[in-house]
Structure 1
Amino acid sequence: MMTFSRTDTSVLGRWWWTVDRWLLIAIAVLIAVGTVLTLAASPAVATRIGYSSFHFVQRQLLFLAPALLIMIAASLLDPVGVRRVSVIIFAGSMLGVVLTFFMGAEVKGAHRWISLGGLSIQPSEFVKPAFAVVAAWLFAEWRKGRGFPGWAISTVLCLIVVGLLLMQPDVGMSIVIVAVWLAQFFIAGLPIVLALGLGAIGLVGIFGAYLILPHVASRIDSFLDPANKANYQIERAMDAFAAGGIWGRGPGDGAVKNVLPDAHTDFIFAVAGEEFGLFACLFIVGIFAFIVLRCFSRLMTENNLFVLLAAAGLTTQFGLQAVINIGVNLHLLPTKGMTLPFISYGGSSLMALALSMGMLLGLTRWRPDHGVVR
């Protein structure tokens, strides 16, 4: 175990005594659980599509090492460093999103990935955390009362981001980004009347997406109609939870991974339910809840508005993504094609989440000026 003396003034020494170690441990546990579930869910999928059994396991482990380095490196940053890195990543990832329309591969009718050096990268995954921090900075500058139109610039950027994502199309990620942006705007001082107005516009937007985008209409219709043939994956997921019961069928004994195309990604929670049971699922939910509540509790006495908004945005984003994925698996929400943080297979998702949680660890580190009591 890593140990440092309190008198250690090295970079890592100062990091160890200022970082939230409980949060760090919870993230490590989540990554360990994700590795175990990838081992459980992905071999059957890999074999079914013609790869070697441990193809996805090897790739996930290959991405894990750089992801951990990214998370630790980001957690070493101070708030100014987090802001600067986020601006650079936001600009680069937005350029990547634009490039998907010209050189991106089409997967399931969507243009979300570009190939670089033999690797498929989803730039929009990096837009999420970077935009949350950039929006927090713009809102914080606006609230300083110096006439800086931060809220207006943030609104324009949000419209651009969502517009590009809807063109891919990626409605699920668009909803997450807008929800996080609205939460940050509300914390920054959005009038309640305007908040209600924006909420109404959001509902109109969802209804418009239902009327205009066929795949959105299909997912909502299948969610509302249990007899719809498009509910095949949901039905198999529900069967998996029922078969798993309280204690599960045992590691490797699940059947749902043999028939679900997305058993290693969108529906890996169903694999956990079948093989490890109800208590394992509750344990996973508990880890997510602990991380979200721990982060929010760290912000209760924060007096730096930028840190408050950025950390709240990243935390909301992390928790909302988990809620959506688990809700889809339990047939509580329409299918969204969204991964379960640190659990589902996916290189871009893993890297972006590592960056997000690294910045969150950096923002919630103890600083003499922010008043957090350890």
Structure 2
Amino acid sequence: MSMIVEAGAHRSASPPANLRTRIQAQLAAPLDAIPNAVKASGPMDPVLAAVVVALIGFGVVMVYSASAVQATVDYKNPQFFLAKQGTYAIASLAVLFVTSRIDYHRLYKLTYPVLALVGILLTMCVVGFGHRGGGAARWLTLGPVHVQPAEMAKLALVTWLAYSLAKKADRVKTFTVGFLPHLLISGLFMLLCMKQPDFGSAVVLLLLTFTLLFVAGAKVGYILGASILGALFGVAAIRFSPYRYVRYLAWENMEQHRQDLAYQPYQSVMSFGSGEMWGLGLGRGLQTLYLPEAHTDFVAAIVGEELGFVGIAVLCAAYLLLVLRGIRAALRAPDDYGAYLAFGIAAMFGIQVLVNLSVALAILPTKGLALPFVSYGGSSLLVNAAAAGILLSVSRQGDRGDRDAV
């Protein structure tokens, strides 16, 4: 088995226990003892890197276009949000480059410390240290910077699930070892998100957990049963929460509530419609005058208005390419840990895009969830850049294995 690893070949057909033994040996060994085949020395995926950089740049342009009016009114400076997003973009490119150059196996020793740190930050938001905005305490204030732990929780959960599922490869079909512990940890993170409240992030965490459990080979019956319980919990969380239920009723009757509770999704749908096929042109959208916080969760609506159906189609194609290259990296990863890590990150991007666009199109009720790499916000942009960098690191090792195998 060690000879196969040193040759840089793909995952072998050996029993799961051998894979688990190999991973445990790597965990106990210093980094220098890890075979060369699992060190990030190959070229990164150029298509994946280009898509991420293009999305970051596109996000800066769209944030400026969507926020200039609000920035002028609130801060007397049309470039207020542009300057901040530009700074976040430069920092995210640096994070992307650094993480892509680091062997993803270094995450082994950081898995539990990062998971615990994110859990503490989420708890701080709940117990009174969170900065409130829009009726929710989702941010922690560190000087001039606002950190959103829920964004970190998504990547932290993916890294832990990849680590744990790879270790338990021979017992992943069992309920007490392969299924329940993963559901409990994700459930704890979901509960902390719900307490902020952040229903959208809780849904993303649940979907990520089920996706990775399915990919790892957990019993479908367990996943279906937990999915039913999760759906029932979600319905109860909406029905017995006054503000969520009122928002849901307004979403069902948008025409009647277009001037109050459904104002934001109604204006968002109008933005898409007014863009028609080719859009009104960058900076020429009128909905920036009416759509609240257009540069954050509803930036896709401004894309639809200013760049039209064609612009939205190209944006969706870019995200689809991002997810497909992530899956490609997962299939070519040299071990199960890298495969789960890459697949989980690809799923994280895909799920967030689907939920955000569904909300912007009023297919789903309004919930605060950023559009990856495009919405305004430092926490989301930096975490997604780190995730993309890890994905690039996995892709580099997979490419190395392909060349050596040939």
Could you say if the C-alpha distance between residues 334 and 32 of structure 1 is closer, same or farther in structure 2, counting changes exceeding 3 Å?
A: same
Pair 1:91 & 2:122 matched: no
* TM-score for both structures, normalised by structure 2: 0.83
Could you say if the C-alpha distance between residues 16 and 288 of structure 1 is closer, same or farther in structure 2, counting changes exceeding 3 Å?
A: farther
How many residues in Structure 1 have an aligned counterpart in Structure 2? 361
Which of 268, 275, 297 matches 1:244? 275
Distance 2:216 2:134 in 1: 38
Task: State the partner residue of 1:285.
Answer: 316
Deviation at 1:214, TM superposition (A): 2.3
Pair 1:78 & 2:106 matched: no
Could you say if the C-alpha distance between residues 304 and 50 of structure 1 is closer, same or farther in structure 2, counting changes exceeding 3 Å?
A: same
Contact between 2:334 and 2:398, CA under 8 Å: does it hold in 1?
no
Contact between 1:111 and 1:169, CA under 8 Å: does it hold in 2?
yes
Task: State the partner residue of 1:327.
Answer: 358
Deviation at 1:16, TM superposition (A): 7.8
Distance 2:351 2:388 in 1: 14
Could you say if the C-alpha distance between residues 16 and 259 of structure 1 is closer, same or farther in structure 2, counting changes exceeding 3 Å?
A: farther
Contact between 2:332 and 2:399, CA under 8 Å: does it hold in 1?
no
Task: State the partner residue of 2:135.
Answer: 109
Contact between 1:45 and 1:264, CA under 8 Å: does it hold in 2?
no
Distance 1:194 1:126 in 2: 27
Distance 1:51 1:104 in 2: 28
Task: State the partner residue of 2:53.
Answer: 28
1:1-374 matches, cutoff 5 A: 17-100=42-125, 101-145=127-171, 149=177, 151-229=179-257, 230-302=261-333, 304-367=335-398, 371=402
**SS, match of residue 273 in structure 1:** helix
Distance 1:76 1:87 in 2: 22
Deviation at 1:252, TM superposition (A): 1.6
Could you say if the C-alpha distance between residues 228 and 81 of structure 1 is closer, same or farther in structure 2, counting changes exceeding 3 Å?
A: farther
Contact between 2:334 and 2:401, CA under 8 Å: does it hold in 1?
yes
Deviation at 1:84, TM superposition (A): 3.2
**SS, match of residue 75 in structure 2:** coil
Stretches (4+) displaced over 6 A: none
With 307-316 and 91-100 compared, the bigger mean Cα shift is at: 91-100
Q: Percent sequence identity over matched residues?
A: 27
Distance 1:15 1:68 in 2: 19
Distance 1:88 1:68 in 2: 25
Code of the residue aligned with 2:59 in structure 1: it is G
**SS, match of residue 141 in structure 2:** strand
Contact between 2:193 and 2:199, CA under 8 Å: does it hold in 1?
yes
Could you say if the C-alpha distance between residues 223 and 108 of structure 1 is closer, same or farther in structure 2, counting changes exceeding 3 Å?
A: same
Distance 2:238 2:230 in 1: 12
Distance 1:236 1:312 in 2: 35
With 142-151 and 284-293 compared, the bigger mean Cα shift is at: 142-151
* TM-score for both structures, normalised by structure 1: 0.90
Could you say if the C-alpha distance between residues 369 and 251 of structure 1 is closer, same or farther in structure 2, counting changes exceeding 3 Å?
A: closer
Q: Which runs of 5+ in 2 are unaligned?
A: 1-38
Q: Which runs of 5+ in 1 are unaligned?
A: 1-13
Could you say if the C-alpha distance between residues 354 and 84 of structure 1 is closer, same or farther in structure 2, counting changes exceeding 3 Å?
A: farther
Could you say if the C-alpha distance between residues 186 and 252 of structure 1 is closer, same or farther in structure 2, counting changes exceeding 3 Å?
A: same
Distance 2:41 2:374 in 1: 26
Code of the residue aligned with 1:209 in structure 2: it is A
CA displacement 1:23-71 (0-9 Å, x = unmatched): 0001111111111111211111212333521111101111222211112
**SS, match of residue 204 in structure 1:** helix
**SS, match of residue 365 in structure 1:** helix
Could you say if the C-alpha distance between residues 369 and 16 of structure 1 is closer, same or farther in structure 2, counting changes exceeding 3 Å?
A: closer
Distance 2:157 2:341 in 1: 9
Could you say if the C-alpha distance between residues 369 and 194 of structure 1 is closer, same or farther in structure 2, counting changes exceeding 3 Å?
A: farther
Distance 2:76 2:391 in 1: 36
With 242-251 and 299-308 compared, the bigger mean Cα shift is at: 299-308
Deviation at 1:304, TM superposition (A): 1.6
Deviation at 1:200, TM superposition (A): 0.8
Distance 1:241 1:267 in 2: 11
Contact between 1:74 and 1:82, CA under 8 Å: does it hold in 2?
no
Contact between 2:67 and 2:81, CA under 8 Å: does it hold in 1?
yes
Could you say if the C-alpha distance between residues 315 and 26 of structure 1 is closer, same or farther in structure 2, counting changes exceeding 3 Å?
A: same
With 104-113 and 296-305 compared, the bigger mean Cα shift is at: 296-305
Contact between 2:297 and 2:368, CA under 8 Å: does it hold in 1?
yes
Distance 1:74 1:97 in 2: 24
Q: State the Cα RMSD in Å.
A: 2.2
**SS, match of residue 340 in structure 1:** coil
Could you say if the C-alpha distance between residues 170 and 95 of structure 1 is closer, same or farther in structure 2, counting changes exceeding 3 Å?
A: same
Deviation at 1:117, TM superposition (A): 1.8
